[in-house]
Amino acid sequence: MTFFWSSWITILSFMCWAFILAILLMVLKYKPKLEEDGTTGHTYDGIQEYDKPLPKWWLVIFFGSIVWGVAYWVFFPAMFPKHWDGLATVEVDGETVPWSSKNELYSELESNNKVFTDNFEQNILAKADASGATSTLATLADMQATMRHSETPPADLQAQIDEKVAELSPYVEKLSENPNALKVGSRLFLQNCSVCHGSNAKGAVGYPNLTDNDWLYGGEAANILTTLHNGRVGGMAAWRDQIGEDGVRAVSEYVLSISGNQEGYDLDQTMVAQGKVIFNEPTNCVLCHGSDAKGMISTGAPNLTDDIWLYGGDRETVRETLRYGRAGVMPEWQTKLGNERIMLLAAYVYSLSDRTAQPAAKASPATTAVPVTAAATAN
């Protein structure tokens, strides 16, 4: 609210309050001259007027509401709300903060969330034989609170948080076999994720399929947890300015030649050879996609040798990708859903994914950069 409107409302409500108080006092003070029979001498249609005191209950209510008005101003940010927070407070995030409709909402969300997390611990974690997660979750919540509250958080705190998150992965694996957890997880997925990944989690152009064994950032429970907590941004720069349109065409031809969908394409072998040279320059494509072009989960660069495409594997789409670059954004969920719901979602995604054909990736550590071989050969 601007200062003008806040003053406008403040002055109007104060004037209204003062006016009512003044009228009441005036009426109370007013003593008309009485006739000998105790009436004021006024007669209306044969009815005589007395001067009786106002009823007590009425006065009590009237003065009561005037006092209530003042109390309201004192307790709530009603007068010049920018300058007066009011005495009323609520608890948010373990701290006592001035009342505001926003803080009240946060406070209520927190207590509702507590109902959810208590239920999660007692009815899901305990029954899925994963109670051990409780203490990890508590430590994690403490670390996150420190992160939120300190203006200059310790430099390595985020790394410690990421590590704690990864420690939840064995429990996520357990939850992924628990029907109750999966039921809640699937509902959370429909509410939060299906807009982008589809209600069957099979994805769409630009949104990865989560049910296969092809992963941009790794399909281990710990990888999925990290993806959900922090979000991901795929960074594939535009190449036209660097390698020119001819370069784009050549390297696209090379990409088609190594991909799993080259059938039906009449490839220009001179361009393929030129493209291969560009691809393998140490600061070009190999940097992120790896020397075998099978992608790297540390950079989120996809495997280019299979027939699974994020944006499309036809000649024109590959050229588009190279000309203008791509930057798919997976939002972060930690602040929106909290650790418990993320565990359920990770368990659900883990349960959907095709794990049978991915034995080699088992070895890949989750949060650290992983060289191409382990993750990629599995795709």
Strands, E, within the chain: which ranges? Answer: 39-44, 47-50, 89-92, 95-98, 232-233, 329-330
Q: Between 107 and 323, whose beta carbon lies closer to ligand HEC?
A: 323
Q: CB–CB of 194/351 below 8 Å?
A: no
List 193, 222, 370, 378, residue binding ligand HEC (CB under 6 A):
193
Q: Tell me the site size for ligand HEC, rule CB under 6 A.
A: 50
Q: How far is CA 255 from CA 85, 217, 225, 246, 302, in A?
A: 62, 21, 31, 14, 12
Instruction: Give the integer Cα–Cα distance in Å for 366 and 30.
Output: 84
Does 349 bind ligand HEC (CB under 6 A)? Our answer is: yes
Does 290 bind ligand HEC (CB under 6 A)? Our answer is: no
Q: Between 103 and 186, whose beta carbon lies closer to ligand HEC?
A: 186
* Residue 279 main-chain phi, psi, to 5 deg: -55, -40
Does 326 bind ligand HEC (CB under 6 A)? Our answer is: yes
**Restricting to residues 208-247, which ones interact with ligand HEC according to CB under 6 A?**
208, 210, 215-217, 224, 227-228, 232, 234-236, 239
Taking every pair of C-alpha atoms in the chain, what is the biggest distance, in angstroms? 125
Does 285 bind ligand HEC (CB under 6 A)? Our answer is: yes
Site string for ligand HEC, 138-177 (x = CB under 6 A): ----------------------------------------
Please identify which residue in the block is written with the tokens 């109390």. 71
Q: How far is the CB of 360 from ligand HEC (least distance, A)?
A: 16
Structure tokens at 255: 């990409």
Element (H, E) at 116: helix 101-119
Q: Between 210 and 372, whose beta carbon lies closer to ligand HEC?
A: 210
Does 207 bind ligand HEC (CB under 6 A)? Our answer is: yes
CA nearest to 347, candidates 164, 170, 113: 170
List 315, 328, 334, 374, residue binding ligand HEC (CB under 6 A):
328
Q: How far is CA 257 from CA 122, 200, 268, 309, 324, in A?
A: 54, 32, 9, 15, 21
Q: How far is the CB of 220 from ligand HEC (least distance, A)?
A: 10
The binding site for ligand HEC (CB under 6 A) comprises: 189, 192-193, 195-197, 206-208, 210, 215-217, 224, 227-228, 232, 234-236, 239, 251, 255, 279, 284-285, 287-289, 299-302, 304, 309-312, 318, 321-322, 326-331, 333, 345, 349
